[in-house]
Homo-oligomer: A and B are copies of this chain.
Amino acid sequence: MTGKAFQDTYPEPLSHCYGCGSNNEHGHQIKTHWDGEESLTVFHPEPYHTAIPGFVYGGLIASLVDCHSTGTASAAMYRAEGREPDSPGPAYRFVTASLHVDYLKPTPLEGELTLRGQVKEISGRKVVITCQVYAGDVMTARGEVVAVQMPDSFLQGK
């Protein structure tokens, strides 16, 4: 893994997301990094993040896929421009236009989850990210997120 976590480079006023904001003390605070061409998030579910006892509830998986992917979209935009996220210039932060998750197998609650993401498409303000969720070596879910660059009005607080 290389560099700062994507989420630690978000503009301060946009770092409050329950899923990924480093300023949300109640939230998941996921951290995503580049791992070569892929993005990588490692997350430890809490015992109460259960669906049926022993397995992770689907809403958490959807949340992780969502924030992992919008973070990857942001990082991909900087990378496409050959610059670092906290370098001078416009700040990129993405919102989700659509989220799709296929649940392939029950995801065990014990242990850590790994999410891997790939940049499928960058097209203007839109970035499409594909993503897989692993428990150990087993892929238990996969997702696709269409992320859209946040309106500039949201970024004025930077």
Q: Scoring A residues 10 to 29 as 1 if CB is less than 8 Å from chain B, else 0, what string do you get?
A: 00011011110100111100
Q: Is the CB of B13 within 8 A of A99?
A: no
Contact B17 A52 (CB under 8 A): yes
Q: Is A132 an interface residue (CB 8 A)?
A: no
Stretch at the interface among A36-44, A58-66, A79-87, A118-126: A58-66
B-side contacts of A67, CB under 8 Å: 59
B18 touches A50 (CB 8 A): yes
Instruction: Indicate if the CB atoms of B59 and A63 lie closer than 8 Å.
Output: yes
- A18 surroundings in chain B (CB, below 8 A): 48-51, 57, 59-60
Q: Quick check: is A138 within 8 A (CB to CB) of the other chain?
A: no
Which one of A21, A58, A66 has the greatest number of beta carbons of chain B within 10 Å?
Answer: A58
Residue total for A at the interface (Cβ-Cβ under 8 A): 39
A residues 75-133 near B (Cβ < 8 Å) are 95-103, 106
20 new A-B contacts, CB < 8 A, other than A16-B52, A16-B53, are A14-B52, A17-B50, A18-B49, A18-B60, A24-B50, A26-B46, A27-B48, A51-B95, A52-B150, A59-B59, A59-B66, A62-B63, A62-B66, A95-B103, A96-B103, A98-B102, A98-B103, A99-B100, A99-B103, A100-B100
Residues of chain A having any CB pair with chain B under 8 Å: 13-14, 16-19, 21, 24-27, 46, 48-53, 57-60, 62-64, 66-67, 95-103, 106, 150, 154
